[in-house]
Amino acid sequence: MTSRQRVLTALNHQRPDKIPVDFGSTAVTGMHVSCVAALRDYYDLEKRPVKVHEPYQMLGLLEQDLLKALGIDAEGVPAAETMFGFPNEDWKPWKTDSGLEVLVSKYFNVTKDKNGDTLIYPKGDPDAPPSGRMPKGGFFFDTIVRQPPIDEAGLDPNDNLEEFGEISGAHLNYFKQETKKAAASGRAVVATFGGTAFGDIALVPAPFLKNPKGIRDIEEWYISTVIRQDYIHKVFEKQTEIALRNLQKVKAVVEDYVDAVFVCGTDFGTQNSTFCSPETFRNLYKPYYAAVNQWIHENTRWKTFKHSCGAVEPLIEDMIDCGFDILNPVQVSAFGMDAKILKSKYGDRIVFWGGGVDTQSTLPFGTAEQVRRQVLERCEVLGENGGFVFNAVHNVQANTPVKNLVAMFDAVAEFNGR
């Protein structure tokens, strides 16, 4: 099988020749730039700085030579702009606090404050208030909340729609070119078009906008899902209208190059429970997810990808019911997320894209042998009868030992060679 055939077979809940592997196709299945650099050194690839394609989490771009060395089966088409609202163009050098030389977009403009923290600016405009902060010695940016005082009487749902406008011709051309290029790799293509992330808390503060309006404080947004549900519904209703128009335009230019589409990264789980009840999910989110998924399934052959960390087992049935094909990152360490139970209850109806190894403890802090054993166990359970794409539980974090990363990839190869 080709890589693309392997992924498509797994997505259709059939057993491929090997368990397909993804790292780097989305902003939630990637690796910190330090890990990408370490892997390039380990595999003795051409010496060059790694590109930071998503500065918010400081994710490193896995280029073709590394994708080949690691046996990756999926190719990503990232959003047209980073989380800070600028495109990746005209790469320039930059050095992290740890001394790692990387490449960043020419719009990656940062300053240091008096504490030595690194500040980054929306749209790359240093004249705007900074929208992200990397603590001194840190590894990624935290959002700076820029919430003006809320005037209840003056709240306008349109203010929370600033990031969900009609797609531009330039962005359509970008997706046309990038999806075609990704498809030429022979891997399955996973595209992130944007505009369908209902209530994604990473987007609520709008680090990509210079002067965001509406409800932009993270705590206030969560409060609003309880006390201002009418407001949230109005935001989601209008967002859905815009999203469906944009999807129609995107579909017309990407043709049949796309295999899966990243729909939403809204998290619904903590380590121990869900953020909301199943009833709230069904009332506040499900109608809009269902509308987007229905349009995609009626008009394309794309599979739809839903990301949610945490203990979301009580919501999986509803996620399936509203049309999601793929669940990521499959945080099997969270409460109620036992891999065997998930596979038994849902494995024939939703694809598990992730869950292959724990990035909170085993991968960064375990031994190489512990990594190997966990990977083999997860492949055995989640890979049965297809419906599984190997990935870690969310992005691989900074400074994960390279011996453990290699042990992870070697273990997948070992399982696939049985």
pLDDT band at 53 (very low <50, low <70, confident <90, very high): very high
What do you get for the CA distance between the two ends of the chain, in Å? 16
pLDDT per position as a tens digit, 300-351: 999 999 999 999 999 999 999 999 999 999 999 999 999 999 999 999 999 9
Residue 225 has pLDDT above 90, yes or no: yes
Q: What is the structure's pLDDT at 230?
A: 97
Q: In the numeric block, which tokens belong to residue 167?
A: 């797609």
Q: What is the structure's pLDDT at 190?
A: 98
Q: Compute and round to an integer the Cα radius of gyration of the chain.
A: 20
pLDDT band at 258 (very low <50, low <70, confident <90, very high): very high
Residues forming beta bridges with residue 143, ordered by sequence position: 132
Task: Say if CB 206 and CB 92 are below 8 A apart.
Answer: no
Q: What is the structure's pLDDT at 283?
A: 97
Task: Say if CB 218 and CB 225 are below 8 A apart.
Answer: no
pLDDT per position as a tens digit, 344-403: 999 999 999 999 999 999 999 999 999 999 999 999 999 999 999 999 999 999 999 999
pLDDT per position as a tens digit, 147-167: 888 889 999 999 999 889 999
Q: Whats the size of the chain, residue-wise?
A: 418
Q: What is the structure's pLDDT at 226?
A: 95
Question: Which residues, other chains included, contact 283 with Cβ-Cβ below 8 Å and sequence gap of 6+?
Answer: 229
Task: Say if CB 372 and CB 324 are below 8 A apart.
Answer: no
**H or E segment to which residue 321 belongs:** helix 313-321
pLDDT per position as a tens digit, 88-103: 999 999 999 999 999 9
Domains in the chain, please, with CATH?
Answer: 3-27+71-80+146-416 (3.20.20.210)
Residue 189 has pLDDT above 90, yes or no: yes
Q: What is the DSSP string of 248-273?
A: HHHHHHHTT--SEEEEE----B-SSS
Q: What is the structure's pLDDT at 109?
A: 98
Give, in order, the Cα–Cα distances in Å from 159 to each of 110, 123, 155.
Answer: 27, 18, 8
Q: What is the structure's pLDDT at 398?
A: 97
Question: Which residues, other chains included, contact 1 with Cβ-Cβ below 8 Å and sequence gap of 6+?
Answer: 9, 16, 17, 18
pLDDT per position as a tens digit, 106-161: 999 999 999 999 999 999 999 999 999 999 999 999 999 998 888 899 999 999 99
